[in-house]
Amino acid sequence: MAFDHTRRTMGADTEASRRGFLKGTGGIAMAAAAGGSIAFADRAPAGFVGSALAQTPAAADKGPKVLKMDGKAELTLLGDKPLVAETPAHLMDDEVTPTEKLFIRNNGNMPDAAALAADPKAWKIKIDGEVNAPMEIALGDLMAKFQPVTYRLMLECGGNGRSQFTPEARGNQWTTGGAGCPEWTGVRLGDVLKAAGLKSSAVYTAHYGADVHLSGDATKPTISRGVRLAKAMDEHTLIAFKLNGKDLPALHGGPVRLIVPGWAGSASHKWLTRIWIRDKEHDGPGMTGFSYRVPKTPPVPGGKVEEANMAVLEAMPVRSVITSPSHGTRLASGARKIEVRGQAWAGESAIRAVDVSIDYGATWIKAEVKAPANKYAWQRFVASVELPSAGYYEVWSRATDSAGVVQPFQAGNWNPQGYGANAVTRVAVLAQA
């Protein structure tokens, strides 16, 4: 589809938001950074810094740290205590995320190597609390007694996009690579909870794993999130033991973990050992204060936030990521056509539309959006864009979910821990004469 240069009418609020975003990003120097003239410069207000400047010489000298690990692609290393690594956007291009390209997010240290090397089918999971028949079941028995299912399901870190916030929020500075959509095989958590016999008082789950607290104190859980019972009973919420058709690797929570798709990944506990059914909202580590919680009422960015104004982070926001072209692409001399490709997803919702812009959001074209493989799977989008001339361009993508929620021009609802940032994706491209 060729780019439609006719300016579409935008609402006053949308246009004001766009220009506020552009004006708030700094001073104009993109031509020097990109090595060419700036296309649609008249639509970039004075003071705008393009995404090309994210790759300044100073930043390039430092460069992102690259994870070097057998069996993994070259992910971007964000931290090593605990291990945290995100997937560069160009490696998110597969419809099914390969295991080697899946991001890594640990909250503590991996369990004892000897425990992980033991017979996986002997690994035990306890179900207790507000149930009529508490159980402790070995993974082998779980696999034999309950029907296995396989789905493509989103897994996304709650802090994905955190680097978009201004002022900077605490935590690992994720760009957009804290997400993936591999194929998971497991049994439905709801089937297991039904077998345990839920009491009428059951309202919430609490998850525990064998990961070790960073302090080394075996009595401290690294994190213990939970979900409302309705989400636990969703047919897509799994106790998973296979990843992309193979036994779940230890690095990704094997031999068994939870997958709570569409919600913050911290609820999808790795190395699962216990699910405690509670009669109230869980209050374990990662459930109180500012941890995995967002403001009910948006605060002034950087200002004081009262704990009473915080609510548990649940479903993740609408997001799109351009996977091709990659950031910094230089087209061959004379080339003017770009095939834009990417992925989009939206927590509990589906994707209604993805739009692409090459003129700083002044005009947009609709991308073709593929239907999801199943609920909670990401959706591929593609668009063919014609560039009118040589020069520096920014390719933007903006997703709209089935509830009508649109990706914003800049991250909103700032919060101390930096959850929920989902600004439009921006990719720098240079078309050479």
Q: Which residue has the higher pLDDT, 111 or 18?
A: 111
What is the percent of the chain where pLDDT is above 70? Answer: 87
What is the percent of the chain where pLDDT is above 90? Answer: 83
168 in Cβ contact with 230 (< 8 Å) = no
Predicted pLDDT at 93: 98
- Across the range 276-291, mean pLDDT stands at 97
Residue with tokens 């460069």: 63
CA atoms within 13 A on the CB side of 260: 28
Phi, psi of 424 (to 5 degrees): -55, 145
Q: Residue 428: which residues within 8 A CB-CB, separation 6 or more?
A: 34, 50, 51, 52, 54, 55, 327, 328, 329, 392, 393, 394
Structural domains present in the chain: 12-63+317-431 (2.60.40.650), 76-312 (3.90.420.10)
Question: Helix %, strand %, coil % for the chain, to 5?
Answer: 20, 30, 50
Strand partners, 315: 263
Kindly report the average pLDDT of the chain as a whole number. 90
Strand partners, 247: 242
**Can you read off the two tokens belonging to residue 335?**
């080339």
Strand partners, 259: 238
Encode pLDDT of 373-417 as tens digits: 999 999 999 999 999 999 999 999 999 999 999 999 999 999 999
Handedness of CA 166, 31, 90, 408 (dihedral sign): positive
Predicted pLDDT at 7: 35
Encode pLDDT of 92-111 as tens digits: 999 999 999 999 999 999 99
**CA separation for the pair 287, 414 (Å, rounded):** 19
Q: How far is CA 343 from CA 96, 180, 291, 410, in A?
A: 11, 10, 28, 19
- Across the range 11-32, mean pLDDT stands at 47
Strand partners, 381: 342, 369
**CA separation for the pair 143, 155 (Å, rounded):** 22
Predicted pLDDT at 9: 36
Residue with tokens 């006719």: 6
Residue with tokens 């945290």: 84
